[in-house]
Chains A and B, each alone.
Chain A
Amino acid sequence: MSESDSPVRSVYVWVLEGTWRASVDAALSLSPAGASFTLLHVISGEAPDAARGAYAGLLGRAGHDPGIRLDEMAEASAGELLEAAARRLGRPCEKIEIQTHGHAERAVVSASARADLLIVARDGDQARLGPKSLGKTTRFVVDHAACPVLLVWPRSAPDVATIPPPPRHPHPPPPRHPHPPAR
């Protein structure tokens, strides 16, 4: 069987706080029958790391490091999030949790490298169409993904009229001649 003939079989859904419902819904409505689903969630250690760092900055307080509690909570919360996403999907699926300390985008790109489709929700400015509708991490994934990407709006997309009008002079006037013509 050649690669190009193969239908979309493995659909990866990047599950992110705040936007995962739209991604799961897109997976349900736009994936072909017989597709296998993988829910991908990155547990970012950034918040626990920041708490650990702040605690380390308090000289002399042995014990009680809040980072440990935050790590536990982050893991529990990630489990609940994936559980909720799986319930909404209502199909058999694989759940992948990746633990990172920053750079979640790289983890998503490598985990989805062999997928037939990766579903990503925009996570930036939701009020107007445009490049700002993609946050830093999402843009990295869209720019670098090794697989086809389906980019969805987390809620209804803004009106097309939100695109600013084109600039008055689409073609800038030719630069003035550096040397005045010889007389």
Chain B
Amino acid sequence: MDEAFGTGSLGGDALNAAIGETVSLIALLGVLAWAVTRPRGWPEAVAAVPAAVILIAAGAIPAGTAATEARQLGPVIGFLAAILVLAHLCDDDGLFRACGGWMARTSAGSPRRLLTQVFAVAAVTTAVLSLDATVVLLTPVVFATAARLEVRARPHVYACTHLANSASLLLPVSNLTNLLAFAASGLAFGRFAALMAVPWLAAVGVEYAVFGRFFATDLNAGRGAGRGDGGKDASLPVFTLVVVALTLAGFAGASAAGINPAWAAFAGAAVLAVRALTRRKVTPVALVRAADLPFLLFVLGLGVVVKAVTDNGLGRALAPLVPGGTSLPALLAVTALAAVLANVCNNLPAVLVLLPLAAPSGAGAVLAVLLGVNIGPNLTYTGSLATLLWRRILHHHGASPDLGEFTRLGLLTVPAGLVLGVLALWIGLRVPGG
């Protein structure tokens, strides 16, 4: 009987592990359910942090292990906070409004050209300032630009939501999942970007090819005449752009010098923050709010809870599903598993569960996980089935969004993006000098 529970474990330990796993799983499901439903609009951390504390108190995860996990997550969360603040300050300084003006001018009212501009801006914004910036800050600007040009906004807004996921492959800062994987992979910033550059281009290319055909009617509807208020364009915030470019260079430079690139993010955010504060363009409260402390606490709590779940048995259960090595079939399998897990719950818990399993196979396997958890969520417009189901329940009376169309779009882009991305990664891993 004992052997059924694991190698050489005593009956009591096995029982403890079983109870620990059950309790941890309940805690994880509770944390995720809270995050998806957000009762009364309370922050997600309200459930995640107490859940982590309860698991530690109940002994489901030793305090030492939890502390190690927190120490590993700490710098990642700090890095994330710096990027969030950086993006917020870029927005305050009018960077996205300026992008909107540029897109409006250069597209000359053509819906198809506007789509190309949106692809370029959204892919770069996601890569450099993270997917949060694209979803929260850029999408409204894109919508406003389309409305101003009198162009149907649907393809352009859908492009933002898709690229927020699929264009978040390039840099460690593009997505929280990347930051977590970057820490686990042991890669330098530059090497990460070099390995992911072609998969990133492949994923964006697939989206572009599919969007052009999928939205042909909207894109052929003809030039918008515009509302004739082109004179109000925001000028390009050169200082902010230079700081962002230097921050990017700082990431690569710091990483190459063995310094955590998070410091470059802090430096960039600090320069912009001091400038905005001295010019009274931003208040300290707004800066703290931009760092989104409840979100950071949520990530910390979720990390500890997921660690308890994996250590108590899920890790062992999933291990046979994660093939070792970085052969093409192995990478494809890892990516597919990651995409499925991300679609079932969400990509954040998926990446936390899979990273420890993929890391022993090396950086290639870790990046394959990222391809799955970053591109996969485009299958549903909410990024996961759990969120989708909840939203369907909320919408069961009255109007509900047209799911079929978004799902068709996902089915056209996601499998192709995953396969081409893995292929590009596999080739990249075999290029000499890697």
Contacts and interface: CB of A to CB of B under 8 A. Distances in A.
Interface of A: 16-19, 21, 44-47, 49-51, 53-62, 64, 66, 69-70, 73-74, 77, 80-81, 84, 100-103, 123-126, 135-136, 154-155
Q: Give chain B's interface secondary structure class.
A: helix
B302 A51 contact: no
A49 B48 CA distance: 27
25 contacts: A17-B150, A18-B111, A18-B150, A18-B151, A18-B152, A45-B399, A46-B401, A50-B381, A51-B135, A54-B135, A54-B160, A54-B164, A54-B382, A56-B36, A56-B387, A57-B380, A57-B383, A58-B132, A58-B135, A60-B48, A60-B298, A66-B140, A73-B147, A77-B147, A101-B402
A36 B151 CA distance: 28
A21 B150 CA distance: 12
Shortest Cβ-Cβ A-B pairs, 5 listed? A57-B383, A102-B402, A135-B217, A54-B161, A53-B381
Interface string B220-259: 1111110100000000000000000000000000000000
B401 A45 contact: yes
Q: Size class of B's contact patch?
A: 35 or more
B147 A126 contact: no
Contact of B221 (A17, A54, A55, A66): A17
B20 interface: no
Contacts of A64: 136
Contacts of B220: 124-126
Most buried by A among B143, B151, B348: B143
Interface stretch (B39-47, B54-62, B200-208, B330-338): B39-47
B391 A56 contact: yes
Contacts of A84: 227
A81 B150 contact: yes
B21 to A, nearest CB: 22
B295 A60 contact: yes
Interface string B272-314: 0000000000000000000010110011001000000000000
Interface in B132-185: 132, 135-136, 139-140, 143-144, 147, 150-154, 157-158, 160-161, 164-165
Given A19-B221, A46-B154, A53 B136 contact: no
Given A50-B158, A50-B406, A62-B44, A124 B217 contact: yes
B56 to A, nearest CB: 20
Contacts of B221: 16-19, 123-124, 135, 154
A3 to B, nearest CB: 34
Given A62-B44, A125-B220, 19 more contacts: A19-B222, A47-B153, A51-B139, A51-B143, A53-B401, A54-B383, A57-B165, A57-B384, A59-B44, A60-B298, A60-B348, A62-B38, A74-B153, A101-B401, A101-B402, A102-B405, A126-B222, A136-B217, A154-B221
A100 B401 CA distance: 9
Given A50-B157, A124-B220, A62 B384 contact: no
B382 A73 contact: no
A101 B269 CA distance: 39
Interface in B78-126: 111
Contacts of A155: 222
A123 B217 contact: yes
B400 interface: yes
Interface in B11-47: 32, 35-36, 38, 41-45
B196 interface: no
